[in-house]
Amino acid sequence: MEVISYLRATQERTQSCGEAAIAALQLVRLYDAAAARPNGTFLELGTDRGQATKMILAACEKNGGNLVSVDIRDCSTAAVSCRWTFVQADSTDRKTILNKAPILQDGIDLVYVDSLHTPEHVLNEVYTWFSLVRKGGTICFDDIDPNPYMRGRRKDNPKIEIANRRIFYVVRSVFYDNLDQLQMTVDFGSTGLAMLRKTSEIGSELRPFNHLPAERNSTFLAKLSVRLRERYYAHKGDGSDFLTA
């Protein structure tokens, strides 16, 4: 079968070296996440050429299950499988998608996010679908590593670098605001892959989005802030060593 052959070829590429091996390994990780949920229901947001589509379908062919893929463009030829439903729609149009793929209403075991690469859209996707994810299910995010696209690297691309950094910021913000119902693992290299595993029951909602605190960039100001807090709360000494490193 096409998807099984694609899985085997991808698994073989993990034995090579460099970025190609890392990219293949991340696809295999996606397959493993789907394969860990036998007879599961999977949702792919963004289809394009169908690389991730085929990996998830391979898990469906081996362990049972069904995949619903959504793309704003017509990607209905990206794969062939009786376990696949393609829906042409905006990935945040929950009503339309559920009407065309009602199987999703019973719960989702894996959501793969790889559509419009803006932090706003990714955030909308997470909040649109989170409540339908079953306990133990996973939300996977592609394109979260900015490093391969930074200045001077082989993929040097400022637009993608900035987009990936902002998307990863959104993923981290959601994670840290919901530590009581999420676990996170991250793979870097190639485009990167972040996985949020849901530990709460189906129907649970994410808290309203809050931005992470701004990152500190000055070691001097950081040390100064620490010393100020030490003096304020502990009231130790006369402060003669206040600005020493």
In a domain, 210, yes or no: no
Residues 158 and 220 occupy one common structural domain: no
43 with 104: CB under 8 angstroms? yes
pLDDT band with cut points at 50, 70 and 90 for residue 220: confident
Indicate the number of domains in the chain: 2
pLDDT in tens, 14-38: 999 888 999 999 999 999 999 999 9
Question: Do 163 and 90 belong to one domain?
Answer: yes
Question: Which domain range does residue 194 map to?
Answer: 2-205
Q: What pLDDT does residue 240 have?
A: 46
Give the strands of the sheet with 133-142, arranged side by side: 84-88, 65-71, 40-45, 108-113, 133-142, 193-198, 182-187
Q: Do residue 50 and residue 139 come from a single domain?
A: yes
175 and 115 part of one domain: yes
Beta bridge partners of 113: 45, 141
Best CA proximity match to 204, nearest among 115, 127, 102: 127
Residue 225: predicted pLDDT:
73
